């Protein structure tokens, strides 16, 4: 799935604008995207300049423009790559024909699994979402968010209809609580630490479906 195709914008990703026959040039470009993504995540997109990206890359600003026409093009690639990957994985989980609980479990694993490979993109989306969404070229951010919500909400409702999930919870609110739990984790999760993303996901699945309290379920505070 390409979020770009659904964005309603005619902007074409820079990776499609400039095809290259040189593997080393392509690798250099990928390196620059990753380096810029880390700076965006650390300083914020608005506060980052092309000069800073070039300086950290050890090149002149003019050399950076051989690969990208603007820093917007770079962050565009960072975010669209993340969203394309995430939604494609969610769609695969839904297409597995498993029951709703199994699908939701897999989507939780997918979500937490993005914390390492897409850490910078998730951070940028959290910090710069409101700024970026005001520009037409980033219309796909809202469209992608809506599609992700629809995927989750549909599965929660399917589970309720099948008697797998309790019927007295609001599907949209439940999704948003799950979403925020996953994405906020990027602020404290540290790769290589005590927890890996698999352990984190499995723990969350346990709490999500089995709860924290023991004994009979109650909505009363005790």
User: Between residues 45 and 222, which one has the greater pLDDT?
Assistant: 45
pTM, rounded to two decimals: 0.83
User: Given this model, what pLDDT does residue 23 score?
Assistant: 58
Whether 37 is in a domain gets the answer: no
The string of DSSP letters for 25-44 reads HHHHHHHHHHHHHHHHHHH-
Dist CA 183 CA 64 (whole Å): 31
- CA distances (Å), origin 45, targets 32, 75, 106, 131: 15, 8, 31, 9
Q: CATH number of the domain that 83 lies in?
A: 1.10.357.10
The fraction of the chain above a pLDDT of 70, given in percent, is: 86
- Kindly report, residue by residue over 77-129, the tens digit of the pLDDT: 999 999 999 999 999 999 998 999 999 999 999 999 999 999 999 999 999 99
Separation of CA 85 from chain center: 8
Buried b (16+ CB within 10 A) or exposed e, 111-124: bbbbbeebbbbbbb
CA 167 – CA 72 distance, rounded (Å): 44
Question: Within a domain: residue 88?
Answer: yes
* Percent over 90 (pLDDT), the chain: 76
Asked whether residue 189 is domain-assigned, the answer is yes
Rounded to whole angstroms, the Cα distance separating 100 from 92 reads 13
pLDDT of residue 11: 42
Q: Are 161 and 103 in contact (CB under 8 A)?
A: no
How many of the other CB atoms lie within 10 Å of CB of 156? 23
Confidence of residue 217 (pLDDT cuts 50, 70, 90): low
Contact 132, 7 (CB under 8 A): no
- For residue 106, being part of any structural domain is answered with yes
Rounded distance, CA 146 to CA 139, Å? 11
52-71 per-position pLDDT tens digit: 999 999 998 888 988 899 99
pLDDT at 216: 64
Q: How far apart are CA 109 and CA 159, in angstroms?
A: 18
In a domain, 218, yes or no: no
Neighbour-count burial for 49-78, b at 16+ CB within 10 Å, e otherwise: ebeebbeebeeeeeebeebbeebbbbbbbb
66-88 pLDDT tens trace: 889 999 999 999 999 999 999 99
User: Are the C-beta atoms of residues 80 and 150 closer than 8 Å to each other?
Assistant: no
Residue 145 domain flag: yes
Asked whether residue 79 is assigned to any structural domain, the reply reads yes
- Number of domains observed in the structure of the chain: 1
Higher pLDDT, 88 or 195: 88
CA dihedral 15, 19, 24, 25 (to 10 degrees): -70
| Cα angle for residues 187, 50, 117 (degrees, 5° grid) | 35
Average pLDDT over every residue of 136-161? 97
Q: 205 lies in which domain range?
A: 72-210
Average pLDDT on 29-51 reads 95
Is 105 contained in some domain? yes
Tokens of 187: 């602020």
């Amino acid at each position: 799935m390409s979020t770009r195709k659904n964005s309603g914008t005619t902007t074409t990703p820079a990776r499609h604008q400039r095809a290259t026959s040189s593997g080393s040039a392509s690798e250099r470009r990928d390196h620059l995207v990753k380096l810029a993504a880390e700076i965006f995540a650390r300083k914020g997109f608005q506060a980052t300049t092309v000069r800073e990206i070039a300086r950290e890359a050890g090149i002149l600003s003019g050399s950076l423009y051989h690969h990208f026409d603007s820093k917007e093009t770079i962050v565009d690639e960072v975010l669209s790559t993340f969203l394309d990957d995430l939604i494609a994985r969610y769609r695969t989980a839904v297409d597995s024909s498993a029951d709703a609980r199994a699908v939701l479990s897999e989507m939780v694993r997918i979500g937490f699994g993005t914390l390492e490979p897409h850490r910078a993109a998730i951070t940028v989306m959290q910090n710069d979402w409101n700024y970026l969404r005001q520009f037409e070229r980033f219309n796909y951010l809202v469209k992608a968010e809506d599609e992700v919500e629809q995927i989750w909400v549909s599965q929660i409702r399917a589970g309720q209809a099948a008697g797998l999930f309790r019927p007295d919870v609001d599907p949209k609110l439940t999704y948003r609580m799950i979403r925020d739990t996953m994405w906020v984790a990027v602020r404290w999760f540290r790769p290589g630490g005590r927890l890996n993303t698999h352990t984190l996901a499995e723990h969350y699945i346990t709490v999500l479906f089995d709860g924290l309290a023991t004994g009979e379920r109650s909505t009363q505070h005790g």
